[in-house]
Every structure is written in C-alpha cells, then in structure tokens.
Chain A
Amino acid sequence: MSESNAEVFIVDSIETLEQRIAQVRDAQRIFAAYSQEQVDKIFTAAALAANKARIPLAKQAVSETGMGIVEDKVIKNHYASEYIYNAYRNTKTCGVIEENPSYGTRLVAEPIGVVAAVIPTTNPTSTAIFKTLLCLKTRNGIIISPHPRAKQSTIAAAKIVLDAAVAAGAPKGIIGWIDVPSLEMTNTLMRESDIILATGGPGMVKAAYSSGKPALGVGAGNTPAIIDGSADITLAVSSIIHSKTFDNGMICASEQSVIVDSSVYSQVKDEFTARGCYFLNDEETEKVRKTIIINGSLNAKIVGQPACRIAALAGVTVPESTKIIIGEVTSVDISEEFAHEKLSPVLAMYKADDFSDAVAKAEQLIADGGYGHTSSLYINTATEKEKIAIFQEAMKTCRILINTPSSQGGIGDLYNFNLSPSLTLGCGSWGGNSVSENVGVKHLLNIKTVAERRENMLWFRAPQKVYFKKGCLPVALNELKNVLGKKRVFIVTDQFLYKNGYTKCVTDKLDELGIVHTTFYDVAPDPTLACAQEGAKEIRLFEPDCIIAIGGGSAMDAAKIMWVLYEHPEADFMDMAMRFMDIRKRIYTFPKMGEKAYFIAVPTSSGTGSEVTPFAVITDQDSGIKYPLADYELLPNMAIVDVDMMMDQPKGLTSASGIDALTHALEAYASIMATDYTDGLALKAMKNIFEYLPSAYENGANDAKAREQMATASTMAGMAFANAFLGVCHSMAHKLGAFHHLPHGVANALLITEVMRFNAAEVPVKMGTFSQYAYPHCLDRYLECANFLGIHGDTKESQFENFIQAIEELKEKIGIKKTIKDYGVDEKYFLDTLDDMVEQAFDDQCTGANPRYPLMSEIKEMYLKVYYGK
C-alpha cells in the first residue's frame, strides 16, 4: 500500500471498497479547489515519475500476464506518460478556460468527481498511467478496477503516479484501486462513481453502460487493411508487420485481416514471406483455425503470444523467428475463424478481385466485430483520391488510417499529428460508445457556460431613396433617365386611378423622357394571386427594367408580388409566407430582388406606408388564404411621396387609411422591437395625425397642408413599423377584415384602444420574449406618446385614460363607429367564427412583436368587448 494514502488498508471487499470510495471522494473535494498552476505541477511530476518507471512496469506486466513483449510495453508506457503529457501540458482544465467578452460568454471547467477506471490485461500499466494522468490534469479522483490477471502491475503503475502526485502537492488518496478484484466490486465501483472510463472486454463495457453512470467505453476492433494495386507494397507489408507484431498483436486497433488486390497479391505474399512471415498451407490453416477460436470465442491461450508458440499450440511447426502466421482464406463470414479479432500475431489474408470487392470484404469484416473501431488502407494518395473517398464513405469506423500501421497509428500522434494521443479509443454509437473520437481530458470535465444577458443587434432599413414634397413626382422621375438609365417601365395601378387619369402625370413624364412604358390597371382591393400572375405574365412579355406601383396598399402589394414573380417565377408562396420568430433567423431564404427591375412606389392614399415597408399581402382566390410576405428584399428601391397624388382621396379612404397610419405608429412604438430610431418616426407621425387628420377628413383637397402632413405621417409610420413591426391589434384586425370584410383601417380603429388597455397592464399574464424587453413597461411607453402629443393627467392612470379618450375622440371626428356590431356584422356569424378568428389572430405574424404575449382567451375577450362595445 502507498504511504501517501490517508488510510492504509487493502480493498478486498465491498466494505473496504466503500471506504476507499469515500476516501477518494474526500480527496477529490479538496483537489477540486486547486489552481491550474498547482494542477500542472502535479501533472508534470506524475508524468515524469511514470516515464521513469516505464521499464520496470513493462517487465512486471509481461511477467504477471504472460502476454506481450517487454520492449513494446516500454514504448506504451513511454507513450502514455510523455505523449499524453505533451498533448495536454498547456491545456487549461481549471476554472475559466475560455472567454468571449463580446458575446458575454465564459467557459468554466470543473472536474466530474470520482472516475471509475476499468483497466484491461492487454495494456495494464500504460492504460493505468494514461487514465491516472488524465484524472490528475482534470482534478478528478480515480479508482482503478484492474483485471485480476494483471492486478499487480496495474496497481504498481497507479501507485507510482499517486506517490509522485502527492509529493507534488496532490491530496493524499486522490488515486485508489481495488486490490483483490471481483466482478461484484467492479460493479459497485461503477455504480458509485461519477463517470466510468471502461477499457476492457464487452462484458465490462456493457456493465459500465448499464451501471446508470455516464460511461466512456471502447468497442471491439476487427481492423481490416486493404492493400490497393497502387500501394507501395514494401511500405504496406512492413507497416502491417510492424503493427501486427507490436506487443504480440494485443493493441485493439491492430490489423486482423489483409485484403490484397489480385493484381499485386503474389508480390504482397512474397514480400510478407521475405520479411519473416509464415503462410500456412491448407492443413495447417485448418489446425490454426480450430486453435484460435473456440465455439466463436477467442482462445485465451493465444492472446499476446508469439507466432511460433501459437503455431505449436495448433500442432504446426514454424521457424521460431516467425513474425506473423498468415492464413489465406476466402470467407469474410463470421463462421470463418480467421475473420475474428485475434489479439495475437495471426493474420487472415484475402484476395480481392478489385477495389470494390476489397471494400465489400472490409465492410463485412467490420460488421463481423469491429463496428466503430479502425480500418486501414494502403494506396497511392496522390493518384487514387476517388478510391479513398469511396473507402472513407464505406467504412463504419471512427478511425480510418491511410498508409499507417494501425496499432501505432490508431492511438494518435505517432503517424499523424492531428489525431489525439489516447489509449482509450471511442467507437461511436456503432461500438455502443458515447464518443467517437480518441478519449482525452475534455471528456473528463464538466464545462459550464456562463452566458450574460446581451441585447439583440437591431437595424434600421428603409428604401434607398425616399422623395417627398408636393410636386416632387416628375422631378424624381427624371432620375429614371438621368441617373438610372432605365428604358422600359411597367406601371401597376387600379382601374379607378387609371380611369381618372392618376397615371397620366407619370406616363406623360415617361414619354417626355423617351422611356417606353405599359400599364397594368386591373388590380382590385385585396389583390389575388391570380391578379398578380396575370400582371406577371404581362411583365414577362414586356420585360421592363423598372416597375412603378401607383396606388394604395392593394396596388403596391400587387406590384410587389408581380415583381417577385417576374424576378423569381419558381418562388413558392407557402415558403415565403411561413411565419418566423425572428426575421433574421427564418428558415426560408428570400430570393434576391432587383436583378431584373428597379421598383418604385408612388402612394395615392395616406395610410398603408407600403411604399417604405418590406411587406405585401396576397390572397389565394381559390382557398381564400392570405399570404403575408415579409422580407427586406421586398422594400421598394424608391418611394415618391407626392401629395398631389393624394389630394382627391374620398372621405372614407382618408379616415380609414389615416387611422391605420395611427395604429402603425402606436403599435410600432409599443413593439418589443421599438428603437430610438423608430420611436422618433412614430411620435412625429402620431403628432401629425392628431393635428391634421380631422381637417384632412373634413376639408380634403381644400387643406393642402393637412393632406401633406398626413402623407408624411403615413410614410414615417411606415418606416417605423417596417423596422419595429406591429402588434396584436394588427393581428386581430387582419382576421377581422378577412372574416367580416371590414376595411383594414376601420378594423384597426375599432380594436386599437382595447388593445392598448390590454398592453398597458403592469402585471400581464405573459410578457413578450425579447432580450431588450426587460419588464412590462408598455404603460410608460404609451404615456411617452401622450406627453409628446400634449395629453396629460394627474396620475399615470388618468393620463392613460385621457390618451385613450383622445384617440376615441379622433375616431369619432373622422366618422369611425364604436363597435364591430355597428358595422353590421351579424352577431351569430360573428360568434360562430370567433374561435377560428381568435386562433388565426394569435398565429398572425404581427403577434410576435406585441409587448404582451396574448393568450387566445384574452384575444377572444378583446374581440367580444369590441363587438359589443362593453
């Protein structure tokens, strides 16, 4: 026993094991507080001590187990100490190991606790060194369960590492072991540990996985090595011999079969013979077959034995210096004994008709018992890239080695320096493992991610050019020729505007500029897909380099859709209309617009703001489904806001579109995505509307200033909601309009004050989810609007009530009725359709930006209040 253990006793029973586990657990608690500096000092000291003991430990392992070769085990011990140390000497494993101040994240490494380590007979000392060093580097405690056949050497290795670690300052008893192993104790250890590093037979690995604790196990290997016709045969044969004879073939990644292309078969055979390997004749093959495998299981007597001794066991005489005995066999089925894993210098050799036959054979050998482990290929890497691609595609192995001795190659850092050094090789789910790579320190750490709250990046996007002022239209259109060099213009408008000469000012200007044009004027309100398709057909024939939409929301939306169909006839509206939570993270990538035509929007009403928004709504005339499209690709390139185009709006339109603009501003201001950029636009839009909408409504063209201020308000509100988006008032208005044919502006007007009361609640059932939205503050936001509008009150509540009252008064002044019922919506039909309307409103794209996340029952309640007016 080690003097450095806190208590000296032998672990030979469940009771003493429990004591040891408790002791290691105590030590680990202390160790968990060590700094990186302390840990690295211990890691160095332990690695040095293990390295120094490499020869005595190798001798002890061979003499105890009767398997393997001392000189090769020296290499394994050397590797387990030096290479593992070198790989992780600078790796941070304690505390903060990574920090990203911009994103506000830190990775903090913590030990897992007590590691149960199952150690095999084939590599007892090197695996013990490997696992104890990994645990020391990661501040874990470890208890080793050795195989009874190799217990003394395993324990000796662990003790050397422990003594050196404790001398360098590690807590006493940080490494423990079972002195007299039994299956019951191993199972107890695995159950009571925090994680299991199981390197051993399938029984042990399965026991580990069924212990209920996280386990890192390994799987069976049955490495096939293909020698392609293009391979360097001398290199291939010597590499395989070098690997297969290493420690008498006991490395799990070692080659078990060689599959040789028929074109080089005899050369390969000659080379193997010349390098000291022995080919068995038929009779000898049969004898060896029955010796190495008994009833499908590997004969323990041959494991790690030299070739001549195995031959002798089979009753075959071979020269004592024989390196490998090779059976030339044909079947890759598991019923062929040579197709098994042999853990000894016995090799199967197959002749393949061609490369695909070789790959098929290798696949079967992997399926026979090597899923997830290692496969190997000897080939000309310069000329045979396609074959390598086929091979790497076909092999269900986690390590695919090219021109490399697989024993030394699989463990990493010897023949490839980007493959992690390890003596525990994960085999992925194919091998029943949780990891598919070489096990290292990262697998023995719990990494905590500290994530500070960060706010989303936001944006402000608007058309590249927004031209405004009374009479600006012809001036702006000059650009078509002078700046943009456009030659063919396609105009989209509605029948009313066309017949009443609203497009004439545009067409006259185009004629003056010498630009060819045509006009599509068949857009109806709530434009349909059929209408857009009709227009698109004409666009395709006309092949314009510019589209000008003239009209209200309908004409502009229809023109945007025609634009999409013109630029991307293959586009799918279902995909485009798919709801998203965050426009930047949506699944659908909107196609690039503007490659064929420049898009100009000229509004003729003051309300929709469509000339500056990335939205368009189109209705499928067959299903009645509305497709709301939203993407910044849909932003017009130029908006021309000329009040001359709006002077003669009828009263109803002035009222509905004016109040629509007010709801745009109010919802954009209350939105969880509102920013200072959009706030300014929204506030000024609101102020214009409160001041000028009544006069615009009453006096129409007689009050040009009111008209102009309303035009500005509409476009500014459009820019605000193009970036801050809207809210549940619009969600509900969309469905109210669709189900009961109320004009969009009227529907919004009816709902807005009820929605404001809903949003202003200081204790909402649920608030909206957005990093910037810190707490329910919508009441304060509304009061900011009231302040800007000069609406005051003695208390917050009275000020809010006054604001609501002002909106109600505004509505009244412009002829908006009080309730949905007042607009003649049948009560029974309203109630019958209410649940559908509620669900659809809840799922509307606008709901996501609302500051209060609405329950469907709450939407229903609002609809009912607005229907009855109470």
Chain B
Amino acid sequence: MRKCIVEKELKSVYVDGDKVMKVFKPPYSKTDVLYEALNTARVEDTGLDIPKLLSVSIDEDGNWIITSEFASGTSLSDLLAAHPENADEYAEAMVDYQIEFNKRSNPLLLKLKDKLSRQIQELDIDNNIKYELSARLESLKKHNKLCHGDYCPDNIIVETDENNKITKMTAVDWVHATQGNASADVANSYLMLKLANASFAEKYISIFCKKTNTDRRYVDTWMPIVAAARLTRKNPDEKELLETMIDICDFQ
C-alpha cells in the first residue's frame, strides 16, 4: 500500500512496504534526478550501509522516480523532540556516525571545494566579500573524506530500544554528498542545527571537536564559507543571518 510521507510542489515521497519512492514532477530536471541517483549509488559504493538504490524509472505521467530501500525507524529530529533529556547522547551518536562515514571515500564523488567555490562565485553579493571568501577557501586543506552535505537530524533515521537508546542509525538523502574536508561538513551541520536548536548545535560541535581532536577554530574557519554556500539555497528565513555570517575579515 503506497503511503505519502512528504508532499512538495515538485517532489513527493511515498513508502510502499520496504521501498521508498521519490517522485519528481515536471519541470524537475532529469539531470538533477539522475545526479541524485548516481551520487547516492556512489555513496553506496563506499561500502557505507545506507538504503540501497533499487531503480530509476518514469511513470505514466512522465514523472521521474527514484526507488530505494526503506529505512524503518523514526527520524532523529522526532526522537530529539520527544526526548530532549537525551540530547547529549543523541548528539554523540550523531557525531559517531559522522566520524564513521568520514572514514570512507569515493574518488568519483564531486569535490567539496570545487562545489563551494562554484557556489561562492554564483552568489549575488559584494565582490570584496567573494574575494575574501575565495581566498579563505583556497587556503583550507582539501581532503577526500565522504561528506554528507545535508547531515541534520531530519536526515537521520534511528531505531531505539525501550529506553529510547539508539540501537541503529542510518543517514539518508545523500544527494549533496561530496568528497572533502570533514570540518566543512561539520560546520554546515552546525549552521543548520544552530538555526533550529542552538544548544544541540553547541553540543554537537563540541563533541565532534573533542572526539576528533579538532581545533574549534579550524571548524569555525569554514563557517563563513558554508554560510555562503547555504545562501545559494535562497531560503528567505536564513538570508539575513547568513549574510551577517559571510561579511568577515581575516587578519592582515
């Protein structure tokens, strides 16, 4: 029995037994659909246990459909809303999972730095700011770790035991996955979290820095860059805040 779980103007998501179908309505670009399928498959190729891509097809109405395995469970955001007292534990689980997938890589994935650089250039902002951001991006280290690109509690499916402890965790929606510097991915997650739940965001970033022995300043260095990248999504709720975040100056 097909059940609609997400309904948007151009995209709907249905669950049918152990499968999930993303239906893309025209004028959704087939390039984007095929890119999402290919990118997800490339993440699968890293060996990470994510819901398997099953097929890409077109229905009778001309809609593109990506069918994948269904990850059963609840989203981490729902769990967090229901049990805010467990926030520390959930933040740690979120970081642990991230550290695990950061260990993987696939040379065919898009490079995060290239993507960020393109996003900065695309922005309709002051050229001086672009110059500062580009110079900063240029100086940061290129890595080849698997990055999710949209790693937030909404995109994490968990199974729990009777005490609401997480027993299994799976990240979904890998369309934005790239290979690059994990700290950039963390900075991106932190920004998303901060917009929704500032205290959870702080927990998350401090656990990450502690567990990976990363200097907080190093993650912070990425903030204006990922903020700029996020601006390309043109989300009106975020615009003003993100614009403040990108107008920074390095020492001279």
Contact = CB atoms under 8 A, between A and B. Distances in A.
A335 interface: yes
Interface string B118-150: 000000000111011011111100000000000
A577 interface: no
Contact of A183 (B131, B244, B249, B252): B131
Nearest to A206: B139
B216 A203 contact: no
| A203, A303, A343 — most chain B CB neighbours (10 Å) | A203
Contacts of A120: 252
A303 B247 CA distance: 11
B138 A207 contact: yes
A201 B131 contact: no
Given A120-B252, A334-B216, A334-B217, A182 B132 contact: no
Interface in B207-252: 216-217, 220-221, 223-224, 227, 244-245, 247-252
A148 interface: yes
A220 interface: yes
Residue among A148, A297, A335, A369 with most chain B CB within 10 A: A297
Nearest to A298: B249
| Interchain residue pairs A-B with the least CB separation, the first 4 | A296-B220, A201-B250, A203-B135, A206-B139
Interface residues of B, number: 26
B251 A341 contact: yes
Given A121-B252, A301-B247, A343-B252, A201 B135 contact: yes
Interface of B: 127-129, 131-132, 134-139, 216-217, 220-221, 223-224, 227, 244-245, 247-252
A294 B138 contact: no
Given A183-B134, A343-B251, 13 more contacts: A200-B250, A201-B250, A201-B252, A203-B134, A203-B250, A204-B139, A207-B135, A252-B252, A294-B223, A297-B220, A301-B247, A334-B217, A369-B251
A148 B134 CA distance: 12
Given A201-B136, A298-B250, A181 B131 contact: yes
A221 B128 CA distance: 22
Contact of B250 (A182, A202, A334): A202
A199 interface: yes
A302 to B, nearest CB: 8
A149 interface: yes
Nearest to A304: B249
A202 B137 CA distance: 10
A139 interface: no
25 contacts: A148-B127, A148-B128, A183-B134, A183-B135, A200-B252, A202-B139, A202-B250, A203-B136, A203-B139, A220-B251, A252-B251, A296-B217, A296-B220, A296-B223, A297-B223, A297-B248, A298-B251, A299-B249, A301-B247, A334-B216, A334-B217, A341-B251, A343-B249, A343-B251, A343-B252
Nearest to A186: B135
A97 interface: no
Contacts of A205: 139
Q: Is the interface of B mostly helix, strand, loop or mixed?
A: helix
Nearest to A67: B249
B216 A300 contact: no
B252 A295 contact: no
Contact of A122 (B134, B138, B252): B252
A296 B252 contact: no
Interface in A192-222: 199-207, 220-221
Nearest to A297: B248
A294 B251 contact: no
A148 B131 contact: yes
A221 B250 CA distance: 11
**Residue from the set A148, A207, A300, A334 with the largest chain B CB neighbour count within 10 Å:** A300
Contacts of B137: 203
Nearest to A127: B252
Interface in A68-89: none
B206 to A, nearest CB: 10
Contacts of A201: 132, 135-136, 249-252
Interface string A278-305: 0000000000000000111111110100
A187 interface: yes
B8 to A, nearest CB: 30
A303 B128 CA distance: 14
Contacts of A221: 251
A186 B131 CA distance: 11
Contacts of B224: 294-295, 297
A300 B135 CA distance: 15
Contacts of B139: 202-207
Q: Kindly state the interface size class of chain A when it binds its partner.
A: 35 or more
Given A122-B252, A201-B252, A294 B245 contact: yes
Interface of A: 120-123, 147-149, 181-183, 186-187, 199-207, 220-221, 250, 252, 294-301, 303, 334-335, 341, 343, 369
A222 to B, nearest CB: 8
A412 to B, nearest CB: 18
Contacts of A343: 249, 251-252
Nearest to B250: A201
Contacts of B251: 201-202, 220-221, 252, 298, 341, 343, 369
Nearest to A203: B135
Contact of B138 (A183, A300, A334): A183
Nearest to B141: A206
Contacts of B245: 294-295
B92 to A, nearest CB: 20
B252 A294 contact: no
Report which residue of B137, B216, B221, B250 has the largest number of chain A beta carbons within 10 angstroms of its beta carbon.
B250
Among A200, A294, A295, A343, the one with the most B-chain Cβ atoms within 10 Å of its Cβ is: A295
A297 B216 contact: no
Contacts of A301: 247
B131 A147 contact: yes
Most buried by A among B220, B249, B251: B251
A830 to B, nearest CB: 62
A409 to B, nearest CB: 18
A147 B138 CA distance: 15
B135 A204 contact: yes
Query: Among the interface residues B135, B227, B249, which one has the most CB atoms of the partner chain A within 10 A?
Result: B249
Contacts of B247: 299-301
A252 B250 CA distance: 11
A297 B138 CA distance: 16
Contacts of B127: 148
Contacts of A299: 244, 247-249
B66 to A, nearest CB: 35
B229 to A, nearest CB: 14
Contacts of B128: 147-149
A493 to B, nearest CB: 72
A206 B129 CA distance: 18
Contacts of B250: 200-203, 297-298
B138 A187 contact: yes
A181 B223 CA distance: 24
A128 to B, nearest CB: 14
A199 B251 CA distance: 10
Contacts of B221: 296-297
B173 to A, nearest CB: 25
Contacts of A200: 135, 250, 252
B2 to A, nearest CB: 43
A295 B247 CA distance: 11
Nearest to B220: A296
Contacts of A295: 220, 223-224, 227, 245
Nearest to B249: A300
A298 B248 contact: yes
Contacts of A298: 248-251
A455 B249 CA distance: 60
A300 to B, nearest CB: 4
B219 to A, nearest CB: 8
A204 B250 CA distance: 10
Contacts of A303: 249
A205 B250 CA distance: 11
